[in-house]
Structure 1
Amino acid sequence: MRALSKVPLMKWCNSLARLVSRFNPGWVGGEKLDRYTSNRLPLKGDCQPGHVYLVGAGSGDVELLTLKAARLLGQADAVVYDRLVGDDVLALIPRGTERHYVGKASGHHSMPQAEIGALMVTLARSGKSVVRLKGGDPAIFGRMGEELDALAAAHVPATIVPGITAASSAAACMGIPLTDRGHAQQLRFVTAQLCREDGTPDWSALARRDETLVFYMGLSKVEAICAGLRDAGLPDDWPIMLVANASQPDQQSLVGTLADMPLQLAASPLPSPCVIMVGSVVTRVATSPAALDIHNAAY
């Protein structure tokens, strides 16, 4: 019988592990969670009734989930989760746990933000422990502040559990450091939603050559971002990179310049979610065989 190649065999094994975990949430990667917790990873604590945990689900790769997040998912009475939470992460939720989908996509919200806050309050007041599961890190463009305010107004205790944000994950998968000292003395995260009243970022403040810019939620605004930074003084050949679905098997990327990226994107559209990185550090994008191992590590 012909031997299976390494890549298909690994994919088959991963698929089997995911299937097993759905029927027996105590199993992950072929070994029981209690073996890890008792012998290798001594996790402590329990979900408290009437308490809400604002948990970061990371960028999609289940192995990038924090240990605390995994523990809470296994203990909570109810999980309120977003659109960008991966299926492999959701598979860690035991059968019988309440699930409430409150995802948002551009132009379509399954539930208004005020109702999400009210839902968490209702669940907590009924004596349930609640995990509010948000893609990436809940404190980075995740509207966590509004949810904390809703919980505080109802006197519901809350705990924040950080997650790996898309910027960190995308940079790691592409084999680049966001703050390489030869390229960037500072790092800035920017929302491209232009929610402020004047509707325009301060391009002159952003157009610096000694920093790395990371734009979130900006896939539809790539042309405006490139034009704004060029008009503010950055050169046409200034590096820019787009990374979609960072850390996931369907990750895609485009690397180019402020001048050519809009045309590149038009010719090769990327899906959402997508992060946009601007800065000379992009020139370090991995191309050597050794560096490509970093890029493929998530798979």
Structure 2
Amino acid sequence: MNIKKPKLTVVGAGPGDVDLITVKAIKVLKTADVVLYDALVNEELLDYINPEAEQIFVGKRRGCYKYQQEQINELIVARAKSSGHVVRLKGGDPFIFGRGAEEMEYAASFGIDVDVVPGISSSLAVAAYQNIPLTKRGSAESFWVITGTTKEHKRSNDIALAAKSSATVVVLMGMSKLSQIVKFFQDEGKSNLPVAIIQNGTTVREKVGIGTVATIEHIVAEKELKNPAIIVLGEVVKHRKIILDIKQQYANVLQG
């Protein structure tokens, strides 16, 4: 009997657009014996998986967990030992609030070989698709990427620190804490700071709300924005309108 060596490869699927997965990630999917994938993974990517591989959905939908994290860890080890190469396919980048490191540590503690294929993080790509650069000369020299909700389901204290800086601030998983996030920036006298909220970024279901710290909650309610979404706070949000205005000017010239 040909017994396959147990292995785990944690793979980043990118932010949503099927074309934003890496070539290396596709190559790995073709070698998988088992693939465990999350809810934020574009299901079109499942077409790249080895057709003989077992596919298991382990994500969260509508607030319901199909598997708890401890169960996912155990499933990875069990399948690696029984089937061989397990690919853990995660939205975005698996090392940016994706628990990829935790799953690798758990598998490695059972003697399983582990590897990672980085993915394009939604914190970068979703903003970029809306012509929002996280850094720009004269606007922002650095950026923070922060989780809006910690492991204990509380607001991250790092947001208060970020609000004091001149950096661009990107908050993932922060929609349920939006009022608290906005309050930090208001307390720093930044009510006029531009804010963008992008739901289902880089996909055909994308929705966008643009405002300021003072107005963004009203815009979210008006546009019915919700998770999955990222929040971008900073002067760089203005770049989006600059590009749109330039495009409109050229369109007017062509029409005239």
TM-score by length of 1: 0.76
Q: CA deviation at 1:94?
A: 3.6
Q: Secondary structure at the match of 2:45?
A: helix
Picking from 225, 229, 244, the partner of 1:287 is 244
Identity, % of aligned positions = 35
Q: Partner letter of residue 59 of structure 1? A: P
Q: Distance in 2 between matches of 1:198 and 1:222?
A: 12
Identify unmatched segments of 5+ residues in structure 2.
249-256
Q: What amino acid is aligned across from residue 210 of structure 2 in structure 1?
A: V
1:230 corresponds to 2:186: yes
1:140 lines up with 2:96 in the alignment = yes
Residue by residue over 1:68-100, the C-alpha shift from the partner in whole angstroms, topping out at 9 and shown as x without a partner, is: 101111121110100111021122224331001
Per the alignment, do residues 203 and 175 of structure 1 end up closer, same or farther by CA in structure 2, a change over 3 Å counting? closer
Partners of 1:75 and 1:153 in 2: how far apart? 23
Q: Given the superposition, is the C-alpha separation of residues 213 and 199 from structure 1 closer, same or farther in structure 2, using an over 3 Å criterion?
A: closer
Distance (Å, rounded) in 2 between the aligned partners of 1:174 and 1:183: 17
* Range with greater deviation from structure 2 (139-148 or 196-205): 196-205
2:41 pairs with 1:69: no
After TM superposition, give the deviation of residue 148 of structure 1 in Å: 1.6
Alignment TM-score, normalising by the size of structure 2? 0.88
Pairwise CA distance, 1:284: 0.7
Is 1:254 aligned to 2:209, yes or no?
Answer: yes
- Is the Cα–Cα contact under 8 Å of residues 134 and 140 in structure 2 kept in the other structure? yes
- 2:240 aligned with 1:268, yes or no? no
8 Å Cα contact 1:240/1:276 also seen in 2: yes
Contact preservation (8 Å) 2:34, 2:83: no
Deviation at 1:210, TM superposition (A): 2.1
- What value does the CA root-mean-square deviation take over the aligned residues? 2.0
Are positions 1:244 and 2:199 aligned together? yes
What CA distance in whole angstroms lies between the structure 2 residues aligned with 1:77 and 1:195?
A: 31
Conserved in 1, the CA contact under 8 Å of 2:15 and 2:92? Answer: yes
The yes-or-no answer on 1:97 pairing with 2:41 is: no
Q: Which amino acid aligns with 2:232?
A: M
- For residue 290 of structure 1, report the CA deviation from its aligned partner: 4.4
1: distance between equivalents of 2:203 and 2:21? 13
Q: How far apart are 1:106 and its partner, in Å?
A: 6.2
Cα distance, 1:202 vs structure 2: 4.5
Look up the SS of the partner of 2:30 in the other structure. helix
- Please tell me the residue identity of whatever aligns with 1:63: D
Does residue 79 (structure 1) correspond to residue 35 (structure 2)? The answer is yes
State how far apart, in whole Å, the 2-side matches of 1:55 and 1:179 are: 27
Report the AA paired with residue 85 of structure 2: S
Match for 1:255: what amino acid?
I
Counterpart residue identity of residue 147, structure 1: E
**Cα gap change, 1:256/1:77 in structure 2, threshold over 3 Å: closer, same or farther?**
same
8 Å contact 1:236–1:257 — kept in the other structure? yes
Structure 1 unaligned spans of 5+: 1-47, 292-299
Q: Which one of the candidate residues 153, 173, 186 is aligned to 2:109?
A: 153
Give the distance between the partners of 1:71 and 1:198, measured in 2 at CA. 38
Q: Which moved more, 1:155-164 or 1:198-207?
A: 198-207
Q: Secondary structure at the match of 1:287?
A: helix
**Aligned-pair CA distance for 1:288:** 3.7
CA change 1:158–1:141 in 2 (3 A) is same
1:149-171 CA-partner distances (Å, limit 9, x unpaired): 21121111110100011111112
Partners of 1:132 and 1:238 in 2: CA distance: 38
User: What is the Cα deviation at residue 209 of structure 1?
Assistant: 4.9
1:271 and 1:203 map into 2 onto residues whose CA distance is 20
Shift of 1:197: 9.2
**2: CA distance, partners of 1:49 / 1:60:** 31
Aligned pair in 2 of structure 1 residues 80, 222: CA closer, same or farther (>3 Å)? same
Shift in CA distance, 264/163, structure 1 to aligned 2, threshold 3 Å: same
Q: Deviations over 1:143-193 (max 9, x none)?
A: 122212211211111101000111111122111211112111111111100
* 3-state SS of paired residue (2:192): coil
1:153-172 maps to which residues of 2 (within 5 A)?
153-172=109-128
**CA distance in structure 2 between the partners assigned to 1:180 and 1:249 by the alignment:** 27
1:242/1:253 contact within 8 Å kept: yes
Query: Which residue of structure 1 aligns with residue 77 of structure 2?
Result: 121
